[in-house]
Structure 1
Amino acid sequence: MKMVNKEGPSAPTSPPTPVPRVAVVVFILKGKSVLLGRRRSSVGNSTFALPGGHLEFGESFEDCAAREVREETGLEVGKVELLTVTNNVFLEEPKKCHYVTIFMRAVFGANEAEQVPQNLEPEKCDGWEWYAWSHLPNPLFGPLERMVKGGFDPFPV
């Protein structure tokens, strides 16, 4: 009797099940303006978004926020604090994905006037600009757009 291994090389393979990832994004405030950049990405391409990225293993939200801001814009922020968390499933994008997004708020340290945002990842962003909260550009990245339409305000009371 011949044994057949059904899990062998001829067995069909299915793509791995996608898993949620964690993103940390940062509202950098300057007066009543926020820093936004136009995305160059398979998810939310050509939309305006906050600086941010993936949480690394063992990293705190605050450390991730400061690192991502520094890597993307060259800015050094002072105090960083948690604002809110959203659950975002992108089914309409070319690359379907699911992100738990941690929204943080950062303010500059003592050297605010000396700092100018730089586009340190031009393959991921077309550039950084300050936008008045009352006159945000369009289109906004989906998670940010939903927050704005829902009345969210990142500015301290």
Structure 2
Amino acid sequence: MSSTQPDRSSREYPDRPWVGVGVVVWRGDRVLLIRRGKAPRLGQWSLPGGAQSVGETVFETAIREVREETGLEVVPTGIVTVVDAITPDAEGRVHYHYTLVEVAADSAEGDPICADDALEACWATADEAGDLTEWDETRRVILMSAEQRKARPASGR
């Protein structure tokens, strides 16, 4: 690659947004949180997820990312929302830019075993998750997903 061409594969200081998939994994009234092992938001409690690969659907990405980060199998149930995650650096340049498709999913069994970029994992109620997470958008997405679950017919859960 020549020095005049941008590195389109770089997630830091990208020349275009990256598509990421966050997964709101439910088991009963509890949501799965992971403590991030990579930037952005290193060390913070968040939803599992990651970058979508070429040729992969959003739901396939959700399944793969949860499996890679926690070892859990999930069944996606729908799209919650889309979030713009733009992180500037100290000079105001865009350090990270993700378009995050937030997917709801159910997980029936198993304990999370952290791997990939997940340092820890826990199950929390929506209120507990609100206390643990630092990013307002994560809290908003979890509450939105909880409301959508309440509105779904019981047979669809």
User: Could you tell me the TM-score, scaled by structure 1's length?
Assistant: 0.76
Task: Quote the Cα distance in structure 2 between the aligned partners of 1:28 and 1:120.
Answer: 16
Segments of structure 1 that go 5 or more residues without pairing to the other structure are 1-8
Task: Quote the Cα distance in structure 2 between the aligned partners of 1:58 and 1:37.
Answer: 26
Q: Which residue of 2 aligns with 1:128?
A: 121
| Counterpart code for 2:104 | R
The secondary structure found in structure 1 opposite 2:67 is helix
% identical aligned pairs: 28
The secondary structure found in structure 2 opposite 1:153 is helix
| 1:20-39 correspondence runs (5 A) | 20-39=17-36
Between structures 1 and 2, the one with greater helix share? 2
TM-superposed deviation, 1:75: 0.8
| 1:7-156 correspondence runs (5 A) | 18-92=15-89, 96-108=95-107, 112-113=108-109, 115-121=110-116, 124-136=117-129, 137-141=131-135, 143-145=137-139, 147=140, 152-155=143-146, 156=149
Q: Relative to structure 1, is the Cα distance of residues 119 and 48 closer, same or farther in structure 2, using a 3 angstrom cutoff?
A: same
The secondary structure found in structure 2 opposite 1:71 is helix
RMSD of the TM alignment (CA)?
A: 2.7
User: Could you tell me the TM-score, scaled by structure 2's length?
Assistant: 0.76
| CA contact 2:46–2:133 (8 Å) conserved in 1 | no
Q: Which residue of 2 aligns with 1:5?
A: none
